[in-house]
Structure 1
Amino acid sequence: MTNCYSIMLKRSLTLFLALSCTAAYAQKRLTLQDAITRALKKNYDIRIAELTEEQADINNTWVALLPSINGSAGVTKGTANTRIEFSDPNRPPTVNPNAGTRSYNAGVFASWRVFDGGRMFLVKKQLGATERLTEAQLREQVQTTVSQVIQAYAQVVFQQQQGVAIDTGLALAKVRMTLSQLKFETGTSAKVDYLQARVDYNERRADSLNQQSFLTSAFANLNVQMSTDPELTYIVDDSLELNMRLRPTNPDLLDDINLTLDVFRRNAEISKINARIAKRSYWPTIDFNGGYAYNKSENQAGLTLSNQSYGPSGGFNLNLPIFQSGSIRRQAKVASLQAFKDELVYRRQNTEIGRQYRSTWKNYEMSVAAYVLEQENINYARENMDIQRARFNVGVATTLETREAETSYVTALVRLYTAAYNVKVNETRVLELEGQLVRTNDEE
């Protein structure tokens, strides 16, 4: 029974791999880049941000500075029974049954605000700033989505690796259970060893079932980011490339590179422009109104059968706000307070982003160190398990000792996979805060 343990372990692991391959045969392969590409095309948040940016682009025009020109035309026709009596008693009344009347009118009219205290130019500046804000929001949303997809994909890979670790423990427990049963049946071991091995095996089976639930949930979260069917599953990568050589950025430079801060800064700038617009309501406005009109009327029952007029007209109107119940002052005050509020929100966010970056960078450093440590530790755990397995084969090691070695190895595997997942998540967060995540993925 010297090589029995090794042979049975290999057969068990081969069986688990075969079952995994059979289950994945009908699935499609999905790489991290494929997931990012799908999300960039279908993610609802990105599509909404794109539509918002398109709306702002359409609104950013010089309409407020241009005149408004309208044309109108009309025809009116009617009949009436008329009776006209004159002041001269010697003149008999005039009776005209079914007398027809017709009138025609047509014209082109223009209205143009030629002065409003510079309000129209500030409105145009505000529209341009709003368009740039929506562009910044779109860039931020793209980066946020890419970050969420990377973390969701990393979670799927992590849960898949957890499943591998658990299935490894399950295979080890099954082999130990089988050998303990053989030893018990041949009288070389107590029944309690076999019963303990059986309990350990069932415990591993329960862990494997629970892990399937975690993996399904991770796939659903990834599908939500890609705006696709949450029930879909894929063949994903066995591991992810880890960047363990990032260098910290000066936190004082985050104001220039962080996309979230860029959005808050632009929003504060728009509020300042809006405050300036509100103050322009104190100024008078001058409007030009002009046009060319044509009018003609015909009346079969009147003293005049036809009347026609046409020609241009024009003039200027001055509107001076004298008393508005304090509404202009109130609106200007509210707009100024809103501008100050948005400036404070921007400063608070600047401080918060700096705190997040320092914390995330520290987490990244710790996760890299933990990953290096776990890479070293897994070798010791594997060697310890191999030694205990060999001792168990020759009857030196007990079931408890072998179980402890197997548990230590599986636990070391889990810690290694967890450390790799933490490195990827913190790496992603660091790049996101530095505004480099999308560009980095494009280069890759």
Structure 2
Amino acid sequence: MNKYKLLVLILFCAVSLSAQKKLSLEQAIEIGLEKNYSLQVVRQSEKIADLNNTWGNAGQYPKLEFNFRSNNTKDYNETDDFRQNILSPSVDLSWTLFDGFSVRIRKDKFNDLAALSKGNTIVAVESQIELIILAYYKTLMEQQRLDVNRSIKALSEDRYENEKIASELGTKGSYELLLAKNAFLEDKAKYLTQQVIYNNSVRDLNFLLGVEESTQYIFTDDFMTSLADFRLADLLDKMLANNNNLKNRYMQEAVQKRDIELARSNFYPRISLATGVQGNKFLKKPDVAPKIDTKSHNLYANLSLNYLIFNGNSNRRALQIAKIEEEISKIETADLKHSLTNILAQNYELYELRKDLLELAEENKLATEMNLQISKEKYEAGSINSFNYRDVQISYQNASLARLTAIFNLIQSKTSLIRMTGGILSEF
């Protein structure tokens, strides 16, 4: 019976492993950039900006219309009732020849808006890459936390089994057995809780990737990052030159300048051309007199000039408001630059601190691991009691978990610095 159970367990594990997909960080980013819902929305907005960016939308081309009117009358009078029908088809063309250079200005503004939309897409892609990187490594961290809890649970279980054997043989009392059982149950509860945390981290990663939440993976990247020797001055130069949030602010300033140019164009005269051909068919049917049926057509070409003299200073106010909005845009750019500089300095200092903390965590983990091995041997030999051995177990567990947290924190700081300096697209 045990052989059958073992065979079923082996087959179940084989099926589970075959259902899992191998996933590297590079593959995760590729999937996320293709399927993430937020990025799909941003890309659709970019398409709208491209569709708006045409000379026709800016007003460069004439408007051609076909019009048709039919007027029908039935007249009742004392002399002679009649019916009258007038048909007037026409083809009309209207074209604004000059309106203060606003056509060119609108087209330039559409160019800027299209570039701004592409910049927004780049910022969204950068943000998504950063989120995927952190979600991927967070999942690896929770997976390794699960391994640590599993190993501690195994140690507690071995200790509990040994205490049960010793209690049955009468070499130890029930007090040590209860202590071992409590430690085992506590470690098992921690392991089960960590299992849920790991499963949720996988679900969060799947959501960012835009795939089914039940998808399982075999992660192929190591949970570690290379250490970099950054210089704050170099990071600052890169940020000011390459940060895409800052580039978007500069583009928004350009859009505000176009609004000032459009407001100025209202002070120029407007020259328009209207031309077309119109046909007329007149039909009158009196009840007594002979009917009248005439047809005619005419061509027209009209040139008009309009110059606004006064409209309650509305155009002047619009120009003043546009200038104020440009000043607001410049202030917002300066504020963003100052904010980014401040955040960069904080992240740089935090990165340097976290490098030192990781080194300390590595040393602490190695020391507690060695202490655990020695304490296990001493406990089995009876040189130390269960209280001391349990304290060593907890110290090793805490040191191992602290090391994993230190690695993740370092990855987080490094990723943030790379993104702020505009290098995340080239790095990943």
TM range (shorter): 0.7 to 0.9
Partner of residue 4, structure 2: none
How far apart are the structure 2 equivalents of 1:150 and 1:392? 43
Q: TM-score, normalised by structure 1?
A: 0.85
1:206-251 Cα deviation digits (max 9, x unpaired): 1112212322332232122123334544333473351312534331
- 1:266 is aligned, of 248, 251, 271, to 251
Q: Using the aligned pairs only, state the percent identity.
A: 22
How far apart are the structure 1 equivalents of 2:341 and 2:176? 57
* Structure 1 position 223 matched with structure 2 position 206: yes
Q: How much does 1:71 deviate?
A: 2.2
Query: Judging changes above 3 Å, is the alpha-carbon distance between structure 1 residues 238 and 172 closer, same or farther for their aligned structure 2 residues?
Result: farther
Over the residues paired in the alignment, what is the CA RMSD in angstroms? Answer: 2.7
> Does structure 2 retain, via aligned residues, the 8 Å contact 1:157–1:237?
no
Counterpart amino acid of residue 368 in structure 2: A
* Structure 1 position 46 matched with structure 2 position 39: yes
Q: How much does 1:130 deviate?
A: 0.2
* Structure 1 position 372 matched with structure 2 position 359: yes
> Does 397-406 or 325-334 show the bigger shift?
325-334
* Aligned positions, number: 413
- 2:64 is aligned, of 69, 85, 100, to 69
Query: Judging changes above 3 Å, is the alpha-carbon distance between structure 1 residues 41 and 339 closer, same or farther for their aligned structure 2 residues?
Result: same
Query: Judging changes above 3 Å, is the alpha-carbon distance between structure 1 residues 37 and 328 closer, same or farther for their aligned structure 2 residues?
Result: same
Query: Judging changes above 3 Å, is the alpha-carbon distance between structure 1 residues 238 and 195 closer, same or farther for their aligned structure 2 residues?
Result: farther
Q: How much does 1:161 deviate?
A: 1.0
> Does structure 1 retain, via aligned residues, the 8 Å contact 2:224–2:407?
no
Where does structure 1 lack aligned partners over 5 or more consecutive residues? Answer: 1-16, 85-94
1:371-411 Cα deviation digits (max 9, x unpaired): 23333333222221111111112111211221122222222
Q: How much does 1:18 deviate?
A: 8.5
How far apart are the structure 1 equivalents of 2:14 and 2:359? 34
- 2:237 is aligned, of 231, 248, 252, to 252
How far apart are the structure 2 equivalents of 1:21 and 1:140? 42
1:146-174 Cα deviation digits (max 9, x unpaired): 11011111111111111111111111111
Q: How much does 1:187 deviate?
A: 3.8
> Does structure 2 retain, via aligned residues, the 8 Å contact 1:154–1:425?
no
Equivalent residue of 1:70, what SS?
strand
> Greater CA radius of gyration, 1 or 2?
1
Partner of residue 269, structure 2: 284
Partner of residue 406, structure 2: 419
Counterpart amino acid of residue 269 in structure 1: A
Query: Judging changes above 3 Å, is the alpha-carbon distance between structure 1 residues 21 and 155 closer, same or farther for their aligned structure 2 residues?
Result: farther
Q: What pairs up with 1:193-342 in 2 under 5 angstroms? A: 193-237=176-220, 239-245=222-228, 247-248=230-231, 249-301=234-286, 305-342=292-329
Q: How much does 1:258 deviate?
A: 0.6
Equivalent residue of 2:67, what SS?
strand
1:132-155 Cα deviation digits (max 9, x unpaired): 000111111111111101111111
* Structure 1 position 139 matched with structure 2 position 122: yes
- 2:349 is aligned, of 362, 366, 369, to 362
How far apart are the structure 2 equivalents of 1:250 and 1:205? 46
Partner of residue 13, structure 1: none
* Structure 1 position 181 matched with structure 2 position 164: yes
Query: Judging changes above 3 Å, is the alpha-carbon distance between structure 1 residues 268 and 145 closer, same or farther for their aligned structure 2 residues?
Result: same
> Does structure 1 retain, via aligned residues, the 8 Å contact 2:24–2:221?
no
Partner of residue 171, structure 1: 154
Q: How much does 1:52 deviate?
A: 0.9
